[in-house]
Amino acid sequence: MSISETMPTPDGRRAAGREGWVKIIGLGPGSEALITPEASSVLREATDVVGYVPYVERVAPRPGLTRHGSDNREEIRRAEQALEMAAAGRRVAVVSSGDPGVFAMGAAVFEALETGQPDWQTLDIQVLPGISAMLAASARLGAPLGHDFCCINLSDNLKPWALIEKRLRLGAEADFAMAFYNPRSRSRPEGFARALDVLREACGLDRPIMFARAVSTPEECLRVVTLGEATPGMADMRTLVMVGSSLTRRIPSARNEAGEWVYTPRSVV
């Protein structure tokens, strides 16, 4: 099917017989094996794929598929693009890494839907779950998120640092295990150093902290240290960081890449 056959009619109406949709999917943490069969089925049916350039490039080109990659800071615009194409009869897959509802395109599409064209609200829109980096990293290391936990994005691009620090302190005060996305980038290297200072003050120096970089890819690297041993350079934007609760345990292992298993028991008694 050619692109011209699925484009809107000249007056902007949906092409006859064409029912567009938007399906928001996650591509998992990196390995092809961790893309769900449901997401793979959507990619086979889609006429268009929309997303951040590195994620769009994970989708193999094929006849009948147009890939639309854009910059990481254009979430709302590409969500609007997806809705516009679906209204014109296209079958659009909006892709994110991990799970689309965890710091990804799910929220962006609904934000664009809320403020956009009224007729977009009649579109067939679905969110399909994926395997998040947080869950993949936890599985590699054992079960550090095995009891109550919280998840915080350490990027201050879309929220002030004061709010991040407040949530770090409250999470530590509640004795959650914690998972952190986007810990340290080249444009804001100082943020993670400040986060470590907050965590040391709130949790002490002996609390385990885990660094899981590029999980499920050939570049995967796992490391478990204490907060006292951690340095900012241990994390980058491809690293998922986890900090244990006061109950989190470490077990030596000769088989795990990190040299140990980490788990948080479900019982607090």
Higher pLDDT, 86 or 11: 86
Q: What is the pLDDT of residue 157?
A: 87
Tell me, which fold does domain 133-263 have in CATH?
Answer: 3.30.950
* Domain formed by 3-127, architecture: 3-Layer(aba) Sandwich (3.40)
Is 251 in contact with 261 (CB distance < 8 Å)?
A: yes
Could you report the per-residue pLDDT of 98-144, keeping only the tens digit for each?
A: 999 999 999 999 999 999 999 999 999 999 999 999 999 999 999 99
219: which residues sit within 8 A by CB, 6+ positions away? Answer: 213, 238
d(CA 86, CA 140): 38
Res. 16: pLDDT tops 70: no
pLDDT tens by residue, 169-228? 999 999 999 999 999 887 777 899 999 999 999 999 999 999 999 999 999 999 999 999
Q: What pLDDT shows up at residue 73?
A: 83
Domains of the chain by residue range: 3-127, 133-263
Quote the mean pLDDT of the chain: 92
Distance CA 227, CA 195 (A): 11
In this prediction, what percent of the chain has a pLDDT beyond 90?
85
149-169: average pLDDT: 95
Strands (E), the chain: 21-26, 48-52, 66-70, 91-96, 124-127, 142-143, 149-153, 177-181, 208-213, 221-226, 239-243, 249-252, 260-263
pLDDT of 10 reads: 35
pLDDT for position 160: 94
| pLDDT (0 to 100) of residue 3 | 30
pTM of the entire predicted model: 0.88
